[in-house]
Amino acid sequence: MVEFYAATEGNVALVNVMGERGACGYFPPLLSFVYPFLLVKEGESGEVYRDESGRCVVVKKSKGIGMTGGERGLLLSPIQASRVYEGYTDKKDTEKKIISNVRREGDMYFNSGDILVTDARGFYYFADRGGESFRYRGENVSTTEVSVCFTGLVADVCVYGVGLPHGDGKGGMACLTPLSGGVDMEKVGERVCSSLPSYARPLFVRVKRGLGMGDGGGDRGDGGLPVTSTFKHLKG
């Protein structure tokens, strides 16, 4: 079994040919000039973060090993003659995935929409979807990381950030669909406190049941959380 990272409409792909556990791809750091994709900082609203000159900021190179060894970054791949981006059938959807003036005036990059982490050896790890994280007390909170914490304790979970009056950033909200026997909040609390750093622990918990239609989505028919037409959780 070989793990890989790719997207049907994208122009970048990575393969974990060495079988590193948890990695979705590998590329030797010394050959970065051959395949110049980037991991750049993400803004608070899901867009790319730009410095005072209007350019994207590449995340710092990692000196560590594994997923915890590096800084999270949004994966961008240059659009060039050798790396064509054909996009979608809808021109507007295609244009939404193109970011210009990333490193220099006039350049164009494909925005994968995915947050990855790379370590010092050149292994890449999937961390989150772009726009799925939020900031709380100066720290980035991965909704994927928080959601995984609830595995086995609930039937479904949707994590997102909510605005705090007079607060710094957003506080975490965990919206839960209980198992048939309900939610054991004591076990949930123990898992959250033992698995997540203090800034990532949800401040609020909502237990929902019997939700069906969502904006643009269909009726799941299972009493679960509402989803969009592409089966992504509706947040809010």
For 40, the 3-state DSSP assignment is strand
pLDDT of residue 13: 87
Which two structure tokens, joined as six digits, stand for 193? 């406190």
Q: H or E stretch including 144?
A: helix 143-148
Torsion of CA 232, 140, 15, 110, to 10 degrees: 70
Instruction: Work out the number of other CB atoms within 10 angstroms of the CB of residue 83.
Output: 16
Which two structure tokens, joined as six digits, stand for 211? 């939700």
- Tens place of pLDDT for every residue, the chain, 236 residues? 778 888 888 888 899 988 888 899 999 888 877 888 999 998 766 678 899 999 999 998 777 887 776 788 899 999 987 788 888 888 888 888 999 999 999 999 999 988 899 988 989 998 877 767 787 887 778 888 899 899 999 999 999 888 888 777 789 999 999 988 888 999 999 999 999 999 999 999 999 864 433 333 444 445 566 655 444 556 65
For 158-188, the pLDDT digits (tens) are 998 888 887 777 899 999 999 888 889 999 9
- Predicted model pTM: 0.65
Q: Which domains does the chain have, with CATH numbers?
A: 4-129 (2.30.38.10), 133-207 (3.30.300.30)
**CA 47 to centroid of chain Cα atoms:** 12
Of the candidates 67, 86, 59, the one whose C-alpha atom is nearest the C-alpha of residue 20 is 67
Of the candidates 184, 162, 186, 188, the one whose C-alpha atom is nearest the C-alpha of residue 173 is 162
pLDDT of residue 35: 80
CB contact at 8 A, 133 and 42: yes
For 173, the 3-state DSSP assignment is strand
